[in-house]
Amino acid sequence: MPRFLVSLVLVLAVAAQAQTKDITTYIHHTWDTLTRSTTQCNAVSDSKVAEKPIVYLPAGMAIPADLAKMQKQCGVEVEHLPRRITHIAEVMPDELPRTGVLYLPHPYVVPGGRFNEMYGWDSYFIILGLLHDGRDDLARGMAENFFFEIENYGALLNANRTYYLTRSQPPLLAEIIRELMASKNPPDRAWLEHAYTTATKDYALWKSPEHRAGNTGLARYKDFGSGPVPEMADDDNYYRDVIRWMQEHRRAAMEYLVHSDPHPDAAEKSRLRKISCDVDKSSVCARATLAGSRLTKAFFDGDRAMRESGFDTSFRFGPFSGSTQQYAPVCLNSLLYRYEMDMSDFAQTLGKTNEAAEWMHRAERRKSAMQLYLWNARRKRFVDYNFVTHKQSDYHYVTEFYPLWAGWTSPEQAKATMLNLGDYERKGGLAMSLHRSGMQWDEPFGWAPTNYFAIAGMRRYGFNTEANRIAKKFMHTIESNYAREDTIREKYNVEAGTSEVQVTAGYKANVAGFGWTNGVYLRLKSWLAQGDSLKTQDKP
């Protein structure tokens, strides 16, 4: 090779190394930028709701000294929830005089700059990054915040705001516990005992009647509230945009619309409470109307369930995912299978052999049900199942790689799934779906969590070449955009390999920060450094 080419290659290699070092330094410092506490004056405000900040404590809990100090310094109100909560939705958001933040005892990392809450599934990927960077205490504190939520607010919540008291998020607590126990400075046996007991309560939520997917033996997403979500108070357009689309596509959306008088009288309001929402009780409901149409109660149930899934918004479960509550999703049930396997391991470690066997039995039962309902032998792919219509979905979604991550698929099914990789692989990583709905969780957008689960699943089944290729593509997207913008984003247009996103309805921002992208980037970087080696728990 000519000398000038050798020099050029060396220069480019040094530049690439410097860029990687620069981005990891950025991530390392960003953990502090994104750290919040419910005892900080600037961390209790809510950009989504224009009300004076208020912090809610569990019923009967003494006001902690640091919170009392903040109360005096900042003029923040501190109130107690009206009664003790043992199960989700025992206190409903509309019972409280105002929305507010729910107290947590430890600092936590938020997803991005506009957020002040600790989110459910975001925190799993954030914790991956914290452990990589040696921030074990912060990671453990976040896990203990989840324990506090389960013990005092009835569930691991979507986030620690009062309007989230009716729903959870994808169940990843057992994986968080596993990651902490596998870290360089693992917690002791007593901590694991407490974690195991609390995770058992968390798991019970997903076995509740409300979360059962009919008679399939599988689970579904389900919010315990009704009507439009209160956190949309800052967005007058979303539900109107939904109605407008449905009016223009009536054949696909008739079931989601009801006719309504724009100025309802008492009788009309009473009717709307039964078939849509309560216009007197909810300002969001009052505004959710367009040209004589409103959304049905069933649509709002699906809308809420979609938000529990974390995939808000896509067209995966009908237009705007308005039928989410009717599906047993591949992703959720794969997460629960892994949860059951993790809990079996924890029980074994703690000497609870009978409980370990029962957890294993639960996992095997779920695996059998998933093989029956979620595998399409003709199309040779994993699909979601509508237990109301008794039909499998034909909406292909990147979550079909979750079974590989969870380890419940056969080697033959894993090979068949890999033949579908080209449906999602793009210049900058894996896209969410094959459908251009204009929503942020569809084509052409790609996200850190789904790229992570797919890559981890490929590694688990030995498809290391493909896993490394996708990892490099997604990391390059993050790195190249970081070089232009000096920040890391929530999501990317993986078709173009850029952070420029055009979302037509719903959450349209592309927030900087960004917690789960940071954590996944560090985990992928670590995997690439390992080459093709796999940890024992990564093998099927």
Residue 537 is predicted with a pLDDT of 43
Flag whether pLDDT at 16 surpasses 60. no
- For residue 422, give both structure tokens: 């080209």
pLDDT on residue 421: 99
Residue 7: per-residue pLDDT: 47
Average pLDDT value for residue range 394-423: 99
> Mean pLDDT over residues 164-173, rounded?
99
pLDDT at 495: 98
Hey, what amino acid is at 426? R
State the pTM of this model: 0.94
For 58-64, which contacts have Cβ atoms below 8 Å and span 24 or more sequence positions?
58/84, 58/85, 58/103, 58/152, 58/153, 59/83, 59/84, 59/85, 60/84, 61/103, 61/152, 64/39, 64/103, 64/105
Mean pLDDT score, 194-202 = 99
pLDDT band at 52 (very low <50, low <70, confident <90, very high): confident
Query: Does residue 56 have a pLDDT over 60?
Result: yes
Mean pLDDT of the chain: 94
**Among 247, 245, 256, residue whose Cα is nearest residue 300:** 256
pLDDT of residue 482: 97
Q: Which of 315, 365, 308, 313 is nearest to 331 (CA)?
A: 308
**Would you state the pLDDT for residue 538?**
47
pLDDT at 13: 45
pLDDT, position 540: 41
Return the closest-CA partner of residue 511 out of 97, 83, 116, 74.
116
pLDDT of residue 499: 95
**Band of residue 2 on the pLDDT scale cut at 50, 70, 90:** low
Cis omega (within 30 of 0) on the bond before 444? yes
Radius of gyration for the chain, computed over Cα atoms and rounded to the nearest angstrom:
23
344-402 pLDDT tens trace: 999 999 999 999 999 999 999 999 999 999 999 999 999 999 999 999 999 999 999 99
Q: Is the pLDDT of residue 262 over 90?
A: no
pLDDT at position 12? 42
Q: Confirm if 306 and 324 have CB atoms less than 8 A apart.
A: yes
Percent of the chain with pLDDT over 90: 87
Q: What percent of the chain has pLDDT over 70?
A: 94
pLDDT higher than threshold 70 for residue 532 = no
Q: What pLDDT score was predicted for residue 14?
A: 43
Mean pLDDT computed over 400-415: 99
pLDDT tens readout for residues 214-261: 999 999 999 999 999 999 988 889 999 999 999 999 988 889 999 999
**C-alpha to C-alpha distance for 519 and 447, rounded to whole angstroms:** 12
**Of 354-368, 397-411, 492-506, 511-525, which gets the smallest average pLDDT?**
492-506
User: How confident is the model over 466-486, as a mean pLDDT?
Assistant: 98
Residue 9 pLDDT: 43
Question: Alpha-carbon distance 481 to 469, whole Å?
Answer: 18
